[in-house]
Amino acid sequence: MNKFERSSGILLHITSLPGRFGVGSLGREAYSFIDWLIVAKQSLWQILPLGHTGYGDSPYQCYSAFAGNPVLIDIDLLIEQGWLSEDDVPDFLPFNDSEVEFGRVNELKWKLVKLAASRFAEHASLAQKASFERFKEANCAWLDDYSFYAAVKHSFDEKPWWEWDYNIRMREHNAVFEYKNRLESQIEMFSILQYFFFSQWYDLKAYANKNGIKIVGDIPLYIAHDSSDAWCRPEIFMFDENRNPSKVAGVPPDYFSETGQLWGNPLYNWDYLKQTGFKWWIDRVKANFNLFDVLRIDHFRGLAAFWAIPFGEPTAVNGVWLSAPGKDLLDAIKAEMGAIPLIAEDLGVITPDVEELRDSNMLPGMKILQFAFDSNEGNNFLPHLYPHNSVVYTGTHDNDTVIGWFEAASENDKRFVQEYFNADLNDISWSMIKLAWSSVSNIAIAPLQDILSLGSESRMNLPGKPSGYWRWRYKKEALNFDQALRLARITKIYNR
């Protein structure tokens, strides 16, 4: 849809930043990372979805397709603004500095951000209240539903919406009216938290853009079953009359899993979406381009055909392929928004219809260097076969780190690595970074773990595992300007 210039960048999620509150945030350390990117001559910072995460802490399973994650709100910025004081913060913050302990982090940060929201509600100036009201008005299409959902969910001890009382689960008119009255202050609190989040995010993005760095966002194809979207907009999903999914999302057995991946997300009612001109999808893409400069469509192949698994199946094996109107959707987005910079995550089972959808829209696909040297895979991931219109990665958040991958590789694969590009096997991470940067792909990206030459212990995710991942953080002292200057040199050599 939009041609990309030759460029490069780093993949690092916000949660992986250092910071005293046990998880990365939108504050000082995020600005420091941008400063590092500037020295390293990078022009892209790719992140994972920013949504309000639920059970399992996956950024791909969020309570809203639109809302930001309140846990990413920076506490120190709230202190600077006067909504919190240092006295509100415990004297001792016993958090691990190399991984996110989500349970303890959530407990403390939610307590603090809710306290800040209550003070805002009580003490905001007229100008601050006016700014908040403008935010609510501009985002009412999703914010009202999300804040109401989050407040009701909290009143039911965070249970998923299908376990709520029948009248509110089914959104009966009288129940909606009653709960909105009863939970008015809670609803307002969740809206204030979104105001905090988006205010901090837009400031951070402006700083990146001012310094020549574009943010690459990530839009999951599907939304979580337990989400405000599924509860408030059941007509856009494959639900039965009791609002239970008839079929759910996943992928068949592949490189990552012998039994496939059972994601459990509700599938779209594409017929309804098409009848409405794909309005919900267009609104979602517009919202994402308010947040990001470039957008990666996760599981792009699901826009051509998707793996539909009967609800209740224990694995993803017994699914069927169903077609999706991806061409019509992308045409509708293009008609509304023009040429926008999209990246297609085209990994997994890729068939000619997926390639046609990608190529007819001139979208760059993804090339993973680790796959290039896997004797069990075809060789279309080798750099000499890349098209210019592609994005090369040393690995993604779903892969092992380069060092972890190389240590587990067969002797044949290791020999092929050395033969193919004379790699320095004692510095394999940087050898692979150099190979990616030297390729003809218009965009080259490396996870920060590979810049830091880290092993499998620093892996971000293992697909198919429901919990225990998404925790990795880098230690502040691990990232230095020597690495930035080394990357800057490689970037200059290969004209990125």
Q: pLDDT digit string (tens) for 308-318?
A: 999 999 999 99
pLDDT at 206 over 70: yes
Give the other-Cβ count within 10 Å of 92's Cβ: 6
- How far apart (Å, rounded) are the C-alpha atoms in residues 222 and 65? 9
- Give per-residue pLDDT as tens, 43-72: 999 999 999 998 889 999 999 999 999 999
- Given 188, 229, 345, 450, the catalytic residue: 345
Q: Is 97 considered catalytic here?
A: no
Angle between helices 326-337 and 352-360 in degrees, nearest 10: 10
> Residue 331, exposed/middle/buried by CB under 10 A (0-12, 13-18, 19+)?
middle
In sequence order, the β-bridge partners of residue 390 are 365
Whole-angstrom distance, CA of residue 169 vs CA of residue 321: 31
With the C-alpha atoms ordered 224, 228, 232, 233, is the resulting torsion angle positive or negative?
Answer: negative
Name, in order, each residue with C-beta under 8 angstroms of 357's C-beta and a sequence gap of 6 or more: 300, 303, 304, 326, 327, 330
- Give the number of C-alpha atoms closer than 13 A to the C-alpha of residue 152, restricted to the C-beta side: 31
Query: Quick one: CA dihedral 459, 463, 465, 471, positive or negative?
Result: positive
Q: pTM for this structure? A: 0.96
Structure tokens at 476: 């502040």
Single out the catalytic residue among 226, 298, 346, 400.
Answer: 298
Q: Is 144 a catalytic residue?
A: no
pLDDT of residue 256: 66
Catalytic position from the list 203, 254, 353, 398: 398
Give me the domains of the chain, ranges plus CATH numbers.
Answer: 7-493 (3.20.20.80)
Distance of alpha carbon 50 from its chain centroid, rounded?
6
Query: 345 catalytic, yes or no?
Result: yes
Which tens digits make up the pLDDT trace of 367-395?
A: 999 999 977 666 778 999 999 999 999 99
Tell me, what's the pLDDT at 409? 95
For 392-412, the pLDDT digits (tens) are 999 999 999 999 999 999 999
Q: Please write the tens of the pLDDT for every residue from 277-310.
A: 999 999 999 999 999 999 999 999 999 999 999 9
